[in-house]
């Protein structure tokens, strides 16, 4: 896969996400892929990824838009900056529009996404929705737990300062 192929994959990936068709979205992933979503958590395998997109995200939001910019690809992994937006359908926040600025990392295998991670300031989204501070704090604690439990975070914390040259 080339950088141009990766950019085309991102275009198809985001159009599929916007469509709300979970099966269409999941076809961009390997059978054993993991999608790490900052709201709904990790989802493994095409069926679970399709469920997340169609039955969770598109249940809770409408008018979804997602675009990727400035893709970078090294033959195995790629990154892109994104803007996305949606209108909440959650009763407490119904009709509120949210825009999110994020970074995405894609690990690819055989032209498909094997792992997806995103880095998003979800606090900005919650502020746009009007989420109460106590509920925000609960979500931030959950996100902190996810970060602290990741194997790469644990490995990083175990490395002595300045040890990167030896790895």
Q: What is the pLDDT of residues 33-87, one digit of tens each?
A: 999 988 888 999 999 999 999 999 999 999 999 999 999 999 999 999 999 999 9
Question: In angstroms, rounded to a whole number, what is the distance separating the alpha carbons of residues 134 and 125?
Answer: 15
Question: In angstroms, rounded to a whole number, what is the distance separating the alpha carbons of residues 82 and 103?
Answer: 6
Half-sphere exposure of 62 (CA within 13 A, CB side): 7
Q: What percent of the chain has pLDDT over 70?
A: 98
Determine the average pLDDT of the residues in 3-9: 96
| Kind plus residue range of the DSSP H or E element containing 72 | strand 61-73
Q: Which of 99, 118, 97 is nearest to 40 (CA)?
A: 118
Q: List the strands of the sheet with 112-120, edge to edge.
A: 41-44, 29-37, 112-120, 97-109, 77-88, 61-73
Determine the average pLDDT of the residues in 121-138: 92
- Which pTM value belongs to this model? 0.88
Q: Which of 55, 56, 46 is nearest to 25 (CA)?
A: 46
Question: In angstroms, rounded to a whole number, what is the distance separating the alpha carbons of residues 4 and 8?
Answer: 6
* pLDDT computed for residue 58 by the predictor: 93
Q: Look at residue 88 and tell me whether its pLDDT is greater than 70.
A: yes
Token pair 């931030």: residue: 140
């Amino acid at each position: 896969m080339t950088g141009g192929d990766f950019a085309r994959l991102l275009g198809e990936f985001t159009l599929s996400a916007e469509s709300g068709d979970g099966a269409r979205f999941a076809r961009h992933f390997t059978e054993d892929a993991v999608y790490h979503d900052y709201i709904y958590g990790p989802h493994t395998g095409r069926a679970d990824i399709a469920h997340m997109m169609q039955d969770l995200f598109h249940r809770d939001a409408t008018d979804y838009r997602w675009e990727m910019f400035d893709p970078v690809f090294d033959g195995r992994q790629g990154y892109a900056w994104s803007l996305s937006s949606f209108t909440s359908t959650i009763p407490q926040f119904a009709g509120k529009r949210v825009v999110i600025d994020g970074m995405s990392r894609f690990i690819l295998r055989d032209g498909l996404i094997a792992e997806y991670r995103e880095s998003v300031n979800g606090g900005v989204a919650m502020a746009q929705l009007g989420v109460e501070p106590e509920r925000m704090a609960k979500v931030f604690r959950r996100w902190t737990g996810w970060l602290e439990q990741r194997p790469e975070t644990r490995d990083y914390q175990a490395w002595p300062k300045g040890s990167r040259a030896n790895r």
